[in-house]
C-alpha cells in the first residue's frame, strides 16, 4: 500500500507495520496511528511522535521555543519521540545522545526515524544507569530526559539518590531534567509522590511535579 494511503487510513484505524520481540520486551509493535509512528509493548506505549503527551505537554509547560538547547541526553529512546518533538514541534537544533538498553528498539529507531533527525542522534546501546554513573564530564547537557521502562515498570535503581546526584553533575548550569513516572506506579519502597517529596525535590530544590493524566513528570532545573 502506498505510504500516502497508509497515512490517511491511519486516521481511521491503526496500521501495524511491524511486530517483533527482544530480550527485554516480549512484544514490540510499530504502528502507524493518526499519521504518527507508535511503538508499543504488551502494556505500554514507548513512543508516539508529538502525541507522546507526557513529554509534549511538559515541553509546552517549559515554553521550550524560547530556550536554546544544544546538547540533549535521552535516556530511553523508543522511536525517538523526544528528538522528533524537539526538532519538529519546538524548533530546537540540538545534538542528541540517546541511550537505550534494547538493541532491537535501536534497530527500529534507525529504521523508522526520518534521516534528518536520525543523523543528529548518537545512539548508544547500554544500560542507562551504568552510562550515567560512568560519565566523567560534568556540566555537559542542557536537557536530560529520563523515560526508562521495561514494559511498564521503572527499574528501582533509577530512583536511587546517587543516580540523581550524578544526573545533577552532568547537567549544565540552568540545565533542565525531565523524569517520567507512571502515576499508578506504586513501588514497593515508595510511590512516585513520596519519591518526589523525599528524594527528587531534596536533590533539586528548583523542581516541580506535573500530573499529566496517567503520568507524573518530575521537572527540575540545576
pTM here is 0.93
**Predicted local distance difference test score (pLDDT) of residue 184:** 65
User: Could you tell me the three cell numbers for 207?
Assistant: 523542581
Under 8 Å CB-to-CB from 175, ≥6 apart: which residues? 139, 141, 142, 143, 144, 221, 222
Lowest-pLDDT range of 3-12, 60-69, 97-106: 3-12
- pLDDT above 90: percentage of residues in the chain: 78
At residue 88's C-alpha, the angle toward residues 84 and 90, to 5°, is: 100
For 194, the 3-state DSSP assignment is helix
Mean pLDDT of 101-116: 97
Asked if 41 contacts 79 with a C-beta cutoff of 8 angstroms, the reply is no
Q: Rounded mean pLDDT of the chain?
A: 92
Residue 185: is its pLDDT beyond 80? no
pLDDT digits (tens, 9 = 90+) for 55-91: 999 999 999 888 889 999 999 999 999 999 999 999 9
The DSSP line for 5-35 is HHHHHTTTS-EEEEEE--SS-S-EEEEEETT
What are the φ/ψ torsions at residue 169 (nearest 5 degrees)?
-65, -35
**Predicted local distance difference test score (pLDDT) of residue 162:** 96
pLDDT digits (tens, 9 = 90+) for 130-166: 999 999 999 899 999 999 988 777 888 999 999 999 9
CATH number of the domain at 51-221, please?
A: 3.40.50.150
Amino acid at each position: 500500500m502506498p505510504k500516502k494511503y497508509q497515512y490517511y487510513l491511519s486516521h481511521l484505524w491503526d496500521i501495524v507495520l511491524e511486530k517483533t520481540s527482544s530480550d527485554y520486551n516480549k512484544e514490540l509493535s510499530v504502528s502507524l496511528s493518526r499519521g504518527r509512528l507508535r511503538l508499543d509493548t504488551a502494556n505500554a506505549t514507548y513512543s508516539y511522535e508529538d502525541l507522546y503527551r507526557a513529554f509534549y505537554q511538559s515541553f509546552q509547560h517549559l515554553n521550550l521555543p524560547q530556550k536554546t538547547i544544544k546538547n540533549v541526553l535521552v535516556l530511553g529512546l523508543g522511536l525517538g519521540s523526544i528528538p522528533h518533538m524537539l526538532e519538529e514541534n519546538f524548533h530546537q537544533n540540538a545534538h542528541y545522545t540517546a541511550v537505550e538498553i534494547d538493541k532491537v528498539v535501536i534497530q527500529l529507531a534507525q529504521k523508522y526515524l526520518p534521516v534528518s533527525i536520525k543523523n543528529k542522534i548518537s545512539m548508544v546501546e547500554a544500560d542507562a544507569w551504568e552510562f550515567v554513573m560512568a560519565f566523567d564530564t560534568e556540566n555537559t547537557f542542557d536537557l536530560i530526559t529520563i523515560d526508562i521502562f521495561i514494559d511498564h515498570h521503572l527499574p528501582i535503581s533509577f530512583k536511587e539518590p546517587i543516580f540523581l546526584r550524578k544526573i545533577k553533575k552532568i547537567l549544565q548550569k540552568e540545565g533542565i531534567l525531565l523524569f517520567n513516572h507512571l502515576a499508578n506506579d506504586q513501588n514497593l519502597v515508595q510511590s512516585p509522590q513520596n519519591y518526589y517529596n523525599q528524594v527528587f525535590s531534596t536533590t533539586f530544590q528548583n523542581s516541580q511535579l506535573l500530573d499529566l493524566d496517567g503520568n507524573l513528570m518530575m521537572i527540575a532545573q540545576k
